[in-house]
Structure 1
Amino acid sequence: MYKNKNFKKWIAPVSLASLLLTSQLPASIIAHAEGNKEVNASVKNVEYQKALKSSALWLYKNTPNAKFGNEDVVTDLAQTGFPVAKNYYTNYYKNIVSKLKANNGKIFDGEREVSSGKYGKVVLALTSIGKDASNIEGFNLIQTMMDKVLKEQENQTYSATSNYNVLYALDSANYKLPADEKYANLKEQMVKDLLNDQFTDENEGSFGVAWQWPGVDSTAMVTTALSNYTSRDGVNESLNKALNYLSLKLNKNAGYDGYYGGDSPESISQVILALTSLNINPKSDLRFIKNNNWSVSNLLTTYDQASGGFKNSPTSKIANDMSTDQANRALEAYDRLVNNEKKFYDMSDVKAENLAYDTKAPKLPTVKTVADNKTTVTGKTESYATVTVKNGSKIIGTAIADFKGAYSVKIKKQKAGTTLKIAATDLAKNTSKTVSVKVVDKTAPKTPIVKKVTKNSTRIVGTAEVKSTVYVVKNKKVIQKGKVSSKGKFSLSIKKQKTGTKLTVYVKDAANNKSASKTITVKSK
């Protein structure tokens, strides 16, 4: 249901990196990336667009009403241009404003003010939907965020995680710090703090948190944050060391071993974001290719065909929020790179009027035959749409379709001839036109009751379903048939039969449903 004209790319527990400018990229990094474009033909070609679209759908399905705490999803959906309900972003914005007004311009989660890093996520989400985070109903979230940075530094609770989240936020729309002297060198100090966290031991080139826990994820996220600052002393050298570390840590699948076994979608997603922030195409840079595998082909091994989301390892059974969020963001970042669009975190051109909304109703749902002896209504509709079944004006059942659009609504048995009305409502609350179906008679008549037949009998008499047709069979041949009366009785003439002859009697109703057969033996008297 994609009505927005700009939504053209759809052909069919950590935040990530910031927007980055390429004009200041180190020459050594650019040269390496450009010098390896010829390897495109030797790597796996993969179709990632379906996974990009479906992972956005998965996130939307799991976050139908965005509010504080859903910043990553809001940012993902806005930046991928995924069509949402007309009030989706407005409701999120109102929720943030209500929190700001309740606490004099600050955001609390429970009884405690959120961290500077969390403020950074909120700034990113608001910026992605076309809001100016320095003026949210008169509240300057940029200043509030930086005041929180200063307070955390004073209390020694400031972390590298908050550091790069704050830098992502500041750089997303080139936000300016307040003019007060206390903010004058704060941004420069934040960059220096990240550089100081780079390891120089056996983990050389990696980043951690306060010289602890070196790893791929943190290295990739800091790389993304620093890529905007290559004109600063030491940043180019630091970035090259980080890229070397990330390259050396690759496994044979061009991915990174995960905590849950197998390749980690979170780690490779962070690396895709880092590389694209530096204008490096992971499909053409030999440092990030192993055995014809590359980052996007590796990421897609954790794609869940059943739900459209991403799992936390190739062998996991179900998709989850974190893996899907980060994979979606990484695929969008790569898609922007190959289409020469602005980087994922570059929100400098975002305008609220360009956000994508779903205002188109789903197509008519298909409905399989509904039988009077069944207790389900099944068919196909839009992915994750809610299907409603009515008898007259009364709702008798609802169900949510799966990723592939299949639905199965439980209902009580309905009488044959009953008209049921079926409609589908998509995630954006658009409702299809109604499909009317008649319940068909699939219930077989009861076995007929037949009175005794003797060798002298010239009629077969009994009772059966009203207005059904009675059949009398001898040696697999129908020797007589007739209608059951409106009172449920029948009387059919037959020739006299020999003692011991076996006759079979059954009935068929108007819908051609056949009863069980009644076998009778002709008696002597």
Structure 2
Amino acid sequence: MLKRSFSMMLAFVMLLSLLSPFTAQAENITVVNNDNASQTTSPQVIKEKLVNSLEKAKQYYITNNQTISSRVNSSHSGYWSLSAMYALGMDIKNYKWAEGSEVTNEKSYWVKPKTAASSTSNEDAGTIIGAYILGLDPTNLGQRNIVEDLQNKQKADGSFFTAYGESWASIALGLANADYDKAKHLEVILKKQNNSGLFSGFGSSDDLDVTGWNLTALTLLNNADKTNETINESIKKAVDGIHAKYQKDGFVDNTNSMASIIMGLATAGEDLTADKWSYEKDGKKVNILEKMIDDYQLEDGSFKWMIRDTKTNLMATEQVIIALADALNGKSTFARLAAGEIPDTNPPVENPDTEGPTELTVGTISNKTTSVTGTTEANATVSIYNGTKLLASTKANSKGTFTLKIPAQKANVNLVVKTTDETGNAGVTKTITVLDKIGPTKLTVGTISNKTTTVKGTTEAKATVSIYKGSKLLTSTKASSKGNYTLKIAKQKANVKLVVKTKDTVGNKGVSKTIIVKDKIAPKKPTVSKITSKTTKVKGKTEAKATITIYNSKHKKIGSAKASSKGNFSVKIKKQKANTKLSIYAKDLAGNKSGKLSVKVK
């Protein structure tokens, strides 16, 4: 019989037990930095990180049901997401499929009639795997026997497709316990193994994807008794080859390829938390699993494809989830499928939970806030969005308390806080307007002199700008929507200290500036006593502390002196001839020069 019947409850209990958190041992943790903070730690801590990473990934699947529903139900490739959901221990039967994209919908790939055989073995293999996960019969799916279709695609030389499909044909037919020429197919797979131990794809070059998938397929093929020495030697050669390459080249910047490798190694029984699977980089160690989690998992729980990427890659997310689950469980997801850890049909659920969280309190959020606290239903997922952008997501504790870490947001932005329960039911949401708790941070002020009656500058839009002399308010105005302002003030004495202050529209005090009034007014012409041909000291009065300079008719300086704080001065000069014309100037401390005082020597 190709169709299998197993208990759903037993399967998910086993899955959940495999994904239960590990207790960390009291060991020293060595933190190393490599290519964006990869670390190597004790195996126990790595396992904890695996559990946490998979839990985040599970929340991604719960939150993004529209994306997942479309992926699962549009083609045979949906088996990747189904496999990831299975690896995460999710209740696929009661997953909150998007409306119109349910697996039971007549337009779903898994339901609609299949009038002709597919064109590739990969489509058949994916369909068989997906069908078993959904509890469907691949020998009667859409009115076709998909298993028979795949069997019929084996060619005379033993192959089914290309190097990128042979492993999946083997995995799917093994899952279906179907007959095919295994000996010839094994020859096809083994012919692609290079001296390096790795397998080639197109051509003869080593290919990480094909290597990882073939390692998985060979291990599953040999799982029954492990007596096939040819397969045993090939597996050992592949593991040794991967290890040598990892030690030499490190982590390849491609999560799809590295996920394939991790799947294969985990299936072959390798403990990827062990130091063996850390490589040396600049005197530091990088563990293969931690590198994947630390550098490629995004805040929403999904994964990106390459280190330079910033957005989710769904295929990378699917394959990495399977790989990390395999590493954590020490057993391949597809090995568990082959071992019968799937149901034939999903059992009915009595009184399924269809109502999401009804309670949600959210603390104040201002433009200073980086930590948001609140309460909701116990164990619910709380997510906060700015428009369509997910800022943060977390799971509430058993008492319903949650804390979200977010980057500071701009004032008056509307944030939406959403909730979903453990089965994916959407619950209450709240729209929160970010409060303004930060005063204006920008202020420019034009020059203010003792001639100024208009002060101009820029600040925050619509902020209030005020000028004070001591505690006395001289003037105040409101900036325009572009932050420009103009203030009218009475003329101020030179060297007076003025303070320009700002305040935003909600009353937050902002930046201020202290301005010293500049002296831009020249002294008046000095007054002098009578100068005769006998005079050697020219006395007079001018602005306090101004400098007096006297020139003869040839504009040669003949004397200079600084006035006292009361403006009195006395300038020593040589005796001048009668009728000589002298020019006398006063220059204040700011460098302003008075008009010329002309004096004729008597």
Same fold per TM (> 0.5)? yes
* Matching residue within 58, 64, 67 for 1:63: 67
Question: Who is 1:21 aligned against?
Answer: none
Kept in 2, the 8 Å contact 1:197–1:210? The answer is: no
Whether 2:219 is the aligned partner of 1:227: answer: yes
Shift of the 358–478 alpha-carbon distance from structure 1 to 2, 3 Å rule, reads: farther
Query: What CA distance in whole angstroms lies between the structure 2 residues aligned with 1:366 and 1:249?
Result: 50
Question: Who is 1:399 aligned against?
Answer: 388
Question: Who is 1:53 aligned against?
Answer: 55
TM-score by length of 1: 0.57
- SS of residue in 1 equivalent to 2:266: helix
Deviates more, 1:222-231 or 1:430-439: 430-439
Question: Who is 1:462 aligned against?
Answer: none
Q: Deviations over 1:428-471 (max 9, x none)?
A: 46133546779779999xxxxxxxxxxxxxxxxxxxxxxxx9x9
Query: What CA distance in whole angstroms lies between the structure 2 residues aligned with 1:509 and 1:100?
Result: 59
Letter in 2 for 1:327: V
Shift of the 359–165 alpha-carbon distance from structure 1 to 2, 3 Å rule, reads: farther
* Matching residue within 276, 281, 289 for 2:271: 281
* Cα offset, 1:337, TM superposition: 2.0
- SS of residue in 1 equivalent to 2:190: coil
Query: What CA distance in whole angstroms lies between the structure 1 residues aligned with 2:467 and 2:308?
Result: 61
* Matching residue within 262, 270, 282 for 1:272: 262
* Cα offset, 1:347, TM superposition: 6.4
Shift of the 54–269 alpha-carbon distance from structure 1 to 2, 3 Å rule, reads: same
Whether 2:173 is the aligned partner of 1:170: answer: yes
Whether 2:79 is the aligned partner of 1:77: answer: no
Q: Deviations over 1:208-267 (max 9, x none)?
A: 458855434323322322323336998432232232233134347548667xxx455434
Shift of the 435–377 alpha-carbon distance from structure 1 to 2, 3 Å rule, reads: farther
Question: Who is 1:303 aligned against?
Answer: 296
Whether 2:240 is the aligned partner of 1:250: answer: no
- SS of residue in 2 equivalent to 1:197: helix
* Cα offset, 1:400, TM superposition: 3.2
Whether 2:152 is the aligned partner of 1:147: answer: no
Kept in 2, the 8 Å contact 1:52–1:331? The answer is: yes
* Cα offset, 1:81, TM superposition: 1.9
Q: Deviations over 1:290-317 (max 9, x none)?
A: 5576543454464345554444455666
* Cα offset, 1:411, TM superposition: 10
Letter in 1 for 2:67: T
Shift of the 163–83 alpha-carbon distance from structure 1 to 2, 3 Å rule, reads: same
* Cα offset, 1:328, TM superposition: 1.4
Q: Deviations over 1:465-496 (max 9, x none)?
A: xxxx9x9965x23599xxxxxxxxxxxxxxxx
Kept in 2, the 8 Å contact 1:198–1:205? The answer is: no
Question: Who is 1:24 aligned against?
Answer: none
Letter in 1 for 2:89: G
Kept in 2, the 8 Å contact 1:386–1:399? The answer is: no
Query: What CA distance in whole angstroms lies between the structure 1 residues aligned with 2:249 and 2:434?
Result: 56
RMSD, matched Cα:
5.8
Shift of the 359–225 alpha-carbon distance from structure 1 to 2, 3 Å rule, reads: farther
Q: Calculate percent identity across the aligned residue pairs.
A: 13
Letter in 2 for 1:248: G
- SS of residue in 2 equivalent to 1:424: strand
* Cα offset, 1:115, TM superposition: 1.8
Kept in 1, the 8 Å contact 2:254–2:306? The answer is: yes
* Matching residue within 75, 97, 104 for 1:94: 104
Shift of the 203–385 alpha-carbon distance from structure 1 to 2, 3 Å rule, reads: same
Shift of the 192–508 alpha-carbon distance from structure 1 to 2, 3 Å rule, reads: closer
Query: What CA distance in whole angstroms lies between the structure 2 residues aligned with 1:132 and 1:505?
Result: 79
Query: What CA distance in whole angstroms lies between the structure 1 residues aligned with 2:161 and 2:436?
Result: 68
* Cα offset, 1:370, TM superposition: 7.7
Kept in 1, the 8 Å contact 2:381–2:419? The answer is: no
Question: Who is 2:471 aligned against?
Answer: 477
Query: What CA distance in whole angstroms lies between the structure 1 residues aligned with 2:201 and 2:505?
Result: 77
Question: Who is 2:127 aligned against?
Answer: 122
Bigger relative contact order, structure 1 or 2 (CA pairs below 8 A, ≥6 apart): 1
Query: What CA distance in whole angstroms lies between the structure 1 residues aligned with 2:110 and 2:499?
Result: 82
Kept in 1, the 8 Å contact 2:296–2:305? The answer is: no
Query: What CA distance in whole angstroms lies between the structure 2 residues aligned with 1:290 and 1:506?
Result: 58
- SS of residue in 1 equivalent to 2:324: helix
Q: Deviations over 1:31-87 (max 9, x none)?
A: xxxxxxxxx998795232233333444566483423224321122023212478423
Question: Who is 1:203 aligned against?
Answer: 195
Question: Who is 1:29 aligned against?
Answer: none
Question: Who is 2:8 aligned against?
Answer: none
Kept in 1, the 8 Å contact 2:50–2:324? The answer is: yes
- SS of residue in 2 equivalent to 1:401: strand
Kept in 1, the 8 Å contact 2:370–2:405? The answer is: no
Kept in 1, the 8 Å contact 2:124–2:149? The answer is: no
Query: What CA distance in whole angstroms lies between the structure 1 residues aligned with 2:43 and 2:434?
Result: 54
Larger Rg: 2
Kept in 1, the 8 Å contact 2:366–2:436? The answer is: yes
Query: What CA distance in whole angstroms lies between the structure 2 residues aligned with 1:293 and 1:354?
Result: 46
Question: Who is 1:330 aligned against?
Answer: 323
Deviates more, 1:220-229 or 1:60-69: 60-69
Shift of the 353–54 alpha-carbon distance from structure 1 to 2, 3 Å rule, reads: farther
Question: Who is 2:543 aligned against?
Answer: none
Query: What CA distance in whole angstroms lies between the structure 2 residues aligned with 1:265 and 1:159?
Result: 22
- SS of residue in 1 equivalent to 2:388: strand
- SS of residue in 2 equivalent to 1:65: helix
Any gaps of 5 or more consecutive residues in structure 2?
1-11, 23-39, 375-379, 394-403, 441-463, 475-489, 518-602
Shift of the 52–273 alpha-carbon distance from structure 1 to 2, 3 Å rule, reads: same
* Cα offset, 1:116, TM superposition: 2.1
Kept in 2, the 8 Å contact 1:119–1:145? The answer is: yes
More strand by percentage: 2
* Cα offset, 1:154, TM superposition: 7.3
Question: Who is 2:229 aligned against?
Answer: 236
Question: Who is 1:26 aligned against?
Answer: none
- SS of residue in 2 equivalent to 1:161: coil
State the number of aligned residues: 412
